[in-house]
């Protein structure tokens, strides 16, 4: 039996330097990252073993590393996070990453802009 589920981390906050404008790259901005990983819980649910599930600390470390690397666009950052999650956890079926930039410089009022990426492991249904 395959016990499918989802591991979610919401509201990871970072001060990062993503953006196309020089001021974004020099002073940075507040960002929020949400992660959802579709997985199987066979090992962790039945054996209470951390090695058989998605480790929150490892996900945070992946996200932190990618957020510390400046990028003009959020899309490659989100894609890289999703890919590294799939590469790091054999039980991960799909990784969904949403990155929000607060108060983006668009010439008007906007609380946040978001980019979402979903990446599924090859051969998964």
* Domains, in order of start, for the chain: 4-120 (3.30.1130.10)
Which among 2, 84, 101, 112 is annotated as catalytic?
101
Report pLDDT digits (tens) over 70-89: 999 999 999 999 999 999 99
> What is the spatial distance between Cα 73 and Cα 115, in angstroms, rounded to a whole number?
9
101 noted as active-site residue: yes
Report pLDDT digits (tens) over 3-44: 889 999 999 999 999 999 999 999 999 999 999 999 988 766
| Nearest to 96, CA basis, from 109, 104, 112, 85 | 85
> What is the spatial distance between Cα 77 and Cα 3, in angstroms, rounded to a whole number?
30
pTM of the model: 0.91
């Amino acid at each position: 039996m395959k016990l499918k589920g989802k591991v979610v981390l919401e509201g990871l906050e970072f001060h990062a330097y993503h953006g196309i404008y020089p001021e974004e790259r020099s002073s940075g901005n507040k960002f929020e990252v949400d992660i959802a990983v579709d997985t199987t819980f066979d090992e962790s649910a039945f054996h209470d073993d951390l090695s058989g599930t998605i480790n929150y600390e490892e996900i945070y470390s992946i996200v932190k590393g990618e957020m510390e690397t400046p990028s003009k666009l959020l899309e490659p950052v989100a894609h890289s996070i999703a890919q590294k999650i799939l590469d790091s956890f054999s039980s991960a079926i799909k990784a969904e990453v949403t990155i929000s930039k607060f108060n983006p410089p668009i010439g008007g009022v906007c609380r946040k802009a978001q980019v979402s990426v979903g990446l599924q492991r090859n051969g998964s249904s």
